[in-house]
Structure 1
Amino acid sequence: MSTDLSSAADSVRPDSGPIPASRRPARWPVPLRFALRELRGGLRGFAVFLACLALGVAAIAGVGAFSRALTDGLAREGTTLLGGDASFTLVQREATPEEYALVAAGGRVSTIATLRAMARAGEGDALNAALAEVKAVDGAYPMVGTLDLDPPKPLSAALAANGSAYGAVADPALADRLGLKPGDRFQLGEAQLTLTGLITREPDSLSTGIGFGPRLMVSLDALRASNLLQPGSLVRWQYRVRMNDPGNLASFVETVQKDAPDAAFEVRTREAAAPRLENNVRRFTEYLTLVGLTALLVGGVGVANAVKSHLDAKRGVIATFKSLGAPGATVFAIYLTEVGLIALVGIGIGVAVGSALPFLANAAFGHLLPIPIEPSLQPAALALAVAYGALIALAFALWPLGLAHDVPVSALFRERVEGGRRRPRLLYIGLTALAVLALAALAVLASEDRRIALIYLAAAASVLILLRLVGAGIMALARRLPRPRSTALRLALANIHRPSALTPTIVLSLGLGLTLLVTLALIDRSLTRELTANLPEQAPSFFFLDIQSADADRFAAYLGQKAPQGEVETVPMLRGRIISLGGKPAESLTPPPEFAWVLSSDRGVTYAQTLPEGSRLVAGDWWAADYAGPPVVSFEREIAEAFGLKIGDEVTVNVLGRTITATIANLRDVEWERLAINFVMVFSPNTFAGAPHTSLATLTMPNGGDEAAERSIGRAVATDFPAVTAVRVKEALTQIGEIVANLLTAIRGASLVTLLSSVLVLAGALAAGQHHRVYDAVILKTLGATRTRLVAAYALEYAALGLVTAVVAIGAGTAAAYVVVVYVMKLTFAWSTGAALGAVAAALLLTVGFGLIGTWRALGQKPARILRNL
């Protein structure tokens, strides 16, 4: 204490005489001068403070900067990714000569057709068939960018016909599945193809999204020779335009849409070449930003602990200030300035690391990305990270700083006896509330989906309050429990509820990290179970696409012969684009984000006489089997509610260039999780009378089928119906599962930032309580306690806190995961015992491990040295 007093006295002693003007220091504010003097001794005790702020700020700044670099790359390379300045897409039909002329008026045009189809190699039992994403191109492709092949050659030469076979290039994955190497022959529909090369880079791959099969690229002539282009076939025709006048893009697009209103073109421009990817990047960025904010919230506990510990150590200095006439407001200002300066250091470190992350990521993984990224400093992302860090530091520091206002002068003489106020004055409570509200407002305003931000804030506040109440409840329970006979257990209970106990800090810091990990683990478990465990009972074995309507009955009979125990279902299918809902143009509608997909592209539609299987009528009446009135439609209930639709409203769709308006006759609940055939819109049969279409069929094998039988059926269909596309559901779900698994791995990895913050705060809290442990250990050892008994007592204390924290985290994480899985993902929630046991193990390992490490050091202190200073 003498050192503290002397330093304080040096700070405030009167000058011995006038100081010449040339030597007079700059007139900085008094709080800043005293804060700088105290910081001359270094930042000891603020390691966790700095680490938590730096970690959270770096996460937010790095994610924001990298996301911006990625979206800038998408915008900059929009023409390359799209393959032109604009793309006009039609489904199931080619453009008419008049429509093509409108598009071609803007500049050079490249025509591309994409579809899913079965590629086949070999014959009989040696036949290999694989689903491929077929892309047929003309001689102008690619108008922008380069297509890299192995072995290198011009695309025109690679796709040229050689005798009776057409050239083709493919993704290496497709060649592996078919057992092909360059020079080998295979079939697509009725066309003979020769593999002339492997695709190593496709410049416009991102604009087409994720497919269910690897790429196969052929010429338009080869596609026509395959006989896959039948009336109603599910083919997407893209007409890409390289503008003569790129600056006239907006007016050109408007002219095409105005002069061909019934074409129902799906239009994309270079300014939004990959909208789905951009949306996914934004969503993932928002999630990672919330993870970083969670890390900062956890770190805020470390900030509060560090400030409180620092002020406790400075009680003598503060009392000296008071005794020499310094008012409480000045003391508060001095230490607020000091904390602010330290926070700036932590935020600066975080900003520096976050700024470097995009450059480091690009250097390490840039070659794996399909677009070039040029990282740069992103002022907006860095400013947001700085604002988050500053508000977190302020919100969590104001409360303990406010307590410094009322440190009494008597603390100079009775430091060990008087604990001081437990709550700061109303002014500081109000300032803390304002800082918290500012943080919440920033989180909402900076979020693209403010509803998600509000849910996050409510959940975070609920968990913080819950953990705080749990910590107080544990202390109250320990205080009221009967005194056990075991000395170690009695000491452990006393440590849990004594004044200045670490119980609230341990529960709060560790609980937040474990809650997030349990939530992610249970979401992971639910998704995995949905994709695998429910499959044998609910899902068909095959989906068969592009069945010509004239062949539908024959194909169903064929499947009945090949799989007599299987169940076959066949429905007609067309593709249409929604033009208006409820009398409102589609482009003017703003549905909730989870239903935006309904308007984002063309939709599958069908017609039926009876209510489809897997649907349940919830409003209105189904039409008669011989209904012949004006077109009516059945709409899925949840989606109808999202768009504000009701029975009697009108729905306008464009199918095959024909605009059809139907009235909503009823609403249905659909069991999508069964993977049976079902549609958002089911029309009355007379709506599409005479329209060319294909059929969609499913084959459901008993008990889920087996591998050998399904592969045998797949080979047979590929041989006898080469134009039919067979999608094996298990393989498709496996691919989806791999994508989901990769995404969850990335999410879990990012979420470790929060757990790391929790560990730092926990370690810091235990370190801050080290002097209490040393004092207790010395007194108890002086009174005859053995090291073994003390270690047992401390181990019991930490184990009890870790176990209770884990139980609370399991409960909170389970509730959060249930809400996400059931109400957001619309899936069935699945419990995971492994996740619960993992949380318990992590809690015990961290609390007992860190606690005993610090305790062991405390037990090693010499009693004489400590007792002399009491």
Structure 2
Amino acid sequence: MTAVDAVAGSRDRARAAAGGRGAQLKLAARFAFREMRGGLSGFYIFLACITLGVASIAAVNSVSQMMTQGISDQGRAILGGDLRFALVQRTVSEPERAYLDSLGTVSTTIGMRSMARLPDGSDQSLVEVKAVGEGYPLYGTLVTQPAVPLPELLGERDGRFGAVVAQELLDRMGIAPGALLKLGSAELEIRGVVTAEPDLLSDGMNFAPRLLLSEAALATTGLMQPGSLIEHSYKVRLPAGADAEAISEQANERFPAAGWSVRTSDRAAPSLQRNIERFSQFLTLVGLTALIVGGVGVANAVNAYLDSKRQVIATFKSLGAGGTFVVTIYLIQIMTLALVGVALGLVLGALAPFATARFLESVIPVAASASIYPSALALAAVFGLLTSLAFALLPLGRTRDVPATALFREMSTAGNTGMRWSYLLGAIGLAAVIAALALAMADDRRIAGTFLVATAVAFLILRGVAWGIQLLARKMPRVGSTPLRLAIGNIHRPGALTASVVLSLGLGLTLLVTLAVIDNDLRREISTGLADRAPNFFFVDIQKDQIDPFRAEIDRLAPGSTLDAAPMLRGRITQLNGVDVAKIPIPAEGGWVLRGDRGVTYAPSLPENSNVTEGAWWPADYSGEPLVSFSAEEAGELGLKIGETLTVNVLGRDITAKIANFRTVEWESLSINFVMVFSPNTFAGAPHAWLATLSIPGASADTERAVLNGVTNAYPAVTTVRVKEALDAINGLIAQLALAIRAAAAVALVASVLVLSGALAAGNRNRIHDAVVLKTLGATRATLILAFTTEYMLLGLATAVFAIAAGALAAWFVVSSIMQLPYHFDPVVALTTLVVSLVLTVGFGLLGTWRVLGQKAAPVLRSL
């Protein structure tokens, strides 16, 4: 819209003023849309920033909902039934089994880890053993190759039972279907390969290949010994219309001491669902950071646009338009464009499930049925609109007070008008609403709050850094070099790009450094730190009468090694201070202790590498009421106190013990550690096995192989876990997570680049004037290029230094305080950040400046 258009509409404005607020709003909308007919010049960066941020949030939450919805829709197949009753180290009693049979059709499975080996003892592998009963599976389909009925694959033939295994086991041991494999004392024939297991996810995380056999076959292996770490699952198909949740509560009321874990089909894989939700919330916060970075671009674009409209605004003021009317016109334009950007982002976010479904199915065995997820899209839209409005309010607030005299002046007035407090407070209020919304959707509000506070603090500090750079440039003594003098002057002159460049690059690079350092430290700790501190082997299911011969065998196989052993049972905490844990709100931190079964032990004396932090240890000959020592950190997170009681269900018996002391536990050492250590009299006479760790100083691969072969052949019922293989599996999982984290960080960096390019483009108007005047006074193009390059390098260097410092500090907090791992800063990260910063600032700066330097002098001089 031109000034003439504004004059032509003055009579309409007068009529609207007489018609009330509704008429004024209608007129403001007419002016706004009429002015938008001229195109979107200057707003493409605006649209790109909003689109990118909204798309990232919409995509993350849509994909998350697709996965959780897939788990929910396939709940019966994933769980293996409508209800699943799980017991550790014991089978159901006769009354319990009769009750389960009365509910509907029951299918049983037995799960454990063991060692499978070749008949000649030359090779072996850890396997996830699953023994199935008749009727398996109740829901879903077990897919095998060859596709023959499961009873034929697993039945007894010529004196041998059959088994089907994962292809990974065949590859690891170099064998094929038809080969023989020993499990415990039994010899099995491999008759097929498992290609799809319907209830795989409900069995938890698998660290080894699957070996599937019949319950009758498992009974011949000799692995099912008293105290062995075995999970018995009873899966029930209920009659149509039965209420699984009500039956679950009824079962616990009828058998309060059963100690079973009861799960319904709507919670088929709760651990996986929690992890998906937490990871999606983290990526949403990263996406929100990208949106906030884009908000800087919104503010730049709006500021530059309103600056270019100052004559129109001044004309409105000259004709009697009030500040509110003018602000309404441009607010309508800005929010209309924001709606366009949000819509584009929602389209991209809505397509994300369709683009990722096939890939995710290969990572998580759930049939992902892509769809449109309105709640995920609505959340992204709200974030996008709130961010657009929050960052647009500040330049709009200055527009309200543009004086009418600006009509007769060419210089910019956007930076010379004051800021009304109402607009500033409105922007702060919107920022608070965005933060509250992010906290409301977070599972762990402490981490989400820390993330948001860190982002806000970084934003404020970056404003301070920009101000400090300008102040330092202003105080610099006069230098002899013309390009350097021009560069320093450009940094602190009115309308300088310093604040925009520092803000746009600073947040993106800070996030990039933070995530890179965390990823690097996590990988370093797992691949080197944990590997150096951790034992070489874990041994599980050592029987009580085997522990002394086992020690002797280890001394023979690995002289000079250290074997630590402890008795182990499995128990579930059922009550705290007499209150059922199902009725206690589970905190985000420490809540894992109350979910599922935990390993428990007993000891007459304080375990090594532990210190009592509160209370006292019991005497070696203690024989009073049961006492328990609890991990100090988890006790604090659960709010436990010395003298309080907890009840654990072990082997179907409820045992109540008083908390005698709290102690430190070094989980990161991977040595034998337990949340709960009981006084020895607590489990007197209870059947149990032993857990052991073996540390071999300077062990070579050949030494470890010899120990593995020797133990497996001498004690086939003992499960041997090589720590290196477990760490490799964890590293593989982290690599998959890191890929998603890097992609999220890349989104934030792309947003930074967009904002940077927009800020430089917005500043080109002033640069044209500067370049033309300087060339008229005798400056060469080479001098100007060198001056601009120096300016951009100084800004990029200052921003990189801040990003490195802030990112390293944020990573230190996450690694040391949240992950509780050793912190190590890699200088390669710092160097990479520095290079990225300089390449972006200098590269984009010169791309825009090159066009500026090519402007003809005469047209520009005529407008001065």
Q: CA-to-partner distance for each residue in 1:713-733, whole Å, 9 max, x for gaps? A: 101111111001111111111
Q: Name the residue aligned to 1:808.
A: 802
Q: Name the residue aligned to 1:509.
A: 504
Within-5 A mapping of 1:327-476: 327-362=322-357, 366=361, 369-416=364-411, 421-476=416-471
Scaled by the length of structure 1, the TM-score of the pair is 0.96
CA distance, structure 2, for counterparts of residue 260 and residue 295 of structure 1? 52
Q: CA-to-partner distance for each residue in 1:38-89, whole Å, 9 max, x for gaps? A: 1001111100111111111112222222222222221111001101000000
Q: CA deviation at 1:14?
A: 7.4
Contact 2:402-2:417 at 8 Å conserved across structures: no
1:314 to 305, 309, 316: 309
SS at match of 2:234: strand
Contact 1:496-1:502 at 8 Å conserved across structures: yes
CA distance, structure 2, for counterparts of residue 434 and residue 629 of structure 1? 60
Q: CA deviation at 1:364?
A: 6.0
2:829 to 825, 831, 835: 835
SS at match of 2:570: strand
Q: Name the residue aligned to 1:254.
A: 249
Give the percent of matched residue pairs that are identical in Structure 1 and Structure 2.
50
Within-5 A mapping of 1:712-727: 712-727=706-721
Contact 1:591-1:642 at 8 Å conserved across structures: no
Q: Indicate the larger mover: 767-776 or 501-510.
A: 767-776
Q: Name the residue aligned to 1:34.
A: 31
Q: Name the residue aligned to 2:259.
A: 264
Q: Name the residue aligned to 1:681.
A: 676
Contact 1:528-1:737 at 8 Å conserved across structures: yes
Q: Name the residue aligned to 1:216.
A: 211
**2:163 aligned with 1:165:** no
Contact 1:137-1:219 at 8 Å conserved across structures: yes
Paired letter, 2:513 = V
Paired letter, 1:842 = V
Contact 1:582-1:645 at 8 Å conserved across structures: no
Q: Name the residue aligned to 1:595.
A: 590
Q: Name the residue aligned to 1:523.
A: 518
SS at match of 1:534: helix
Paired letter, 2:387 = I
Contact 2:53-2:294 at 8 Å conserved across structures: yes
CA distance, structure 1, for counterparts of residue 358 and residue 144 of structure 2? 25
Contact 2:603-2:680 at 8 Å conserved across structures: yes
Q: CA deviation at 1:697?
A: 1.0
Q: CA deviation at 1:672?
A: 1.6
CA distance, structure 1, for counterparts of residue 466 and residue 587 of structure 2? 38
CA distance, structure 1, for counterparts of residue 589 and residue 116 of structure 2? 35
Paired letter, 1:53 = I
Q: CA deviation at 1:10?
A: 4.0
Shift in CA distance, 369/732, structure 1 to aligned 2, threshold 3 Å: closer
Shift in CA distance, 773/347, structure 1 to aligned 2, threshold 3 Å: same
1:659 to 654, 657, 660: 654
Q: Name the residue aligned to 1:21.
A: none
SS at match of 1:500: coil
Scaled by the length of structure 2, the TM-score of the pair is 0.97
1:87 to 79, 84, 90: 84
CA distance, structure 1, for counterparts of residue 360 and residue 678 of structure 2? 49
Contact 1:614-1:676 at 8 Å conserved across structures: no
Contact 2:629-2:677 at 8 Å conserved across structures: yes
CA distance, structure 1, for counterparts of residue 438 and residue 764 of structure 2? 36
Paired letter, 1:197 = G
Paired letter, 2:636 = E
2:72 to 70, 75, 90: 75
Q: Name the residue aligned to 2:785.
A: 791
1:142 to 130, 137, 144: 137
CA distance, structure 1, for counterparts of residue 120 and residue 414 of structure 2? 88
Contact 2:298-2:392 at 8 Å conserved across structures: yes
Paired letter, 1:781 = K
Paired letter, 1:317 = V
Q: CA deviation at 1:368?
A: 5.9
Q: Indicate the larger mover: 229-238 or 683-692.
A: 683-692
1:130 to 125, 129, 139: 125
**2:280 aligned with 1:285:** yes
Within-5 A mapping of 1:698-717: 698-703=693-698, 705-717=699-711
CA distance, structure 1, for counterparts of residue 360 and residue 734 of structure 2? 20
Shift in CA distance, 537/69, structure 1 to aligned 2, threshold 3 Å: closer
CA distance, structure 2, for counterparts of residue 241 and residue 169 of structure 1? 24
CA distance, structure 1, for counterparts of residue 742 and residue 363 of structure 2? 21
Q: CA deviation at 1:122?
A: 4.4
Q: Indicate the larger mover: 688-697 or 826-835.
A: 826-835
**2:854 aligned with 1:856:** no
Q: CA deviation at 1:662?
A: 1.0
Q: Name the residue aligned to 2:731.
A: 737
Stretches of structure 2 that go unaligned for 5 or more consecutive residues are 16-22
Q: CA-to-partner distance for each residue in 1:464-493, whole Å, 9 max, x for gaps? A: 101111111110111001111111111111
SS at match of 1:90: strand
Contact 2:646-2:656 at 8 Å conserved across structures: yes
Paired letter, 1:64 = N
CA distance, structure 2, for counterparts of residue 364 and residue 581 of structure 1? 43
SS at match of 1:827: coil
CA distance, structure 2, for counterparts of residue 401 and residue 810 of structure 1? 34
Q: Indicate the larger mover: 822-831 or 192-201.
A: 822-831
Contact 1:8-1:321 at 8 Å conserved across structures: yes
Shift in CA distance, 132/758, structure 1 to aligned 2, threshold 3 Å: same
Contact 1:164-1:192 at 8 Å conserved across structures: no
Contact 1:128-1:177 at 8 Å conserved across structures: no
SS at match of 2:717: coil
Contact 1:406-1:420 at 8 Å conserved across structures: no
SS at match of 1:212: coil
Q: Name the residue aligned to 1:101.
A: 98
Paired letter, 1:90 = L
Paired letter, 1:862 = K
Q: CA-to-partner distance for each residue in 1:782-815, whole Å, 9 max, x for gaps? A: 1111111111111111111111111111111111
Q: CA-to-partner distance for each residue in 1:726-785, whole Å, 9 max, x for gaps? A: 111111111111111211121111221111111100111111111122211111111111
Contact 1:607-1:683 at 8 Å conserved across structures: yes
Within-5 A mapping of 1:765-780: 765-780=759-774
Q: CA deviation at 1:866?
A: 2.0
**2:190 aligned with 1:202:** no
Q: Name the residue aligned to 2:776.
A: 782
Contact 1:614-1:674 at 8 Å conserved across structures: no
Q: Name the residue aligned to 1:560.
A: 555
CA distance, structure 2, for counterparts of residue 200 and residue 62 of structure 1? 30
Contact 1:653-1:661 at 8 Å conserved across structures: yes
SS at match of 2:664: strand
Stretches of structure 1 that go unaligned for 5 or more consecutive residues are 18-25
Q: CA deviation at 1:334?
A: 0.8
Paired letter, 1:858 = V
Paired letter, 1:323 = S
Count of aligned pairs between the two proteins: 858
Contact 2:530-2:668 at 8 Å conserved across structures: no
Q: CA-to-partner distance for each residue in 1:801-840, whole Å, 9 max, x for gaps? A: 1111111111111111111111111111111111111111
CA distance, structure 1, for counterparts of residue 25 and residue 825 of structure 2? 60
CA distance, structure 1, for counterparts of residue 703 and residue 137 of structure 2? 42
Q: Name the residue aligned to 1:532.
A: 527
CA distance, structure 2, for counterparts of residue 14 and residue 679 of structure 1? 79
2:820 to 822, 826, 834: 826
Shift in CA distance, 245/101, structure 1 to aligned 2, threshold 3 Å: farther
1:762 to 756, 760, 767: 756
Q: CA deviation at 1:186?
A: 0.8
Q: Name the residue aligned to 1:615.
A: 610
Q: CA-to-partner distance for each residue in 1:649-678, whole Å, 9 max, x for gaps? A: 112111111111111111101122111111
Paired letter, 2:155 = A
Q: CA-to-partner distance for each residue in 1:120-174, whole Å, 9 max, x for gaps? A: 01425xx111111111001211111111111221111111111222100111111
Contact 1:85-1:246 at 8 Å conserved across structures: no
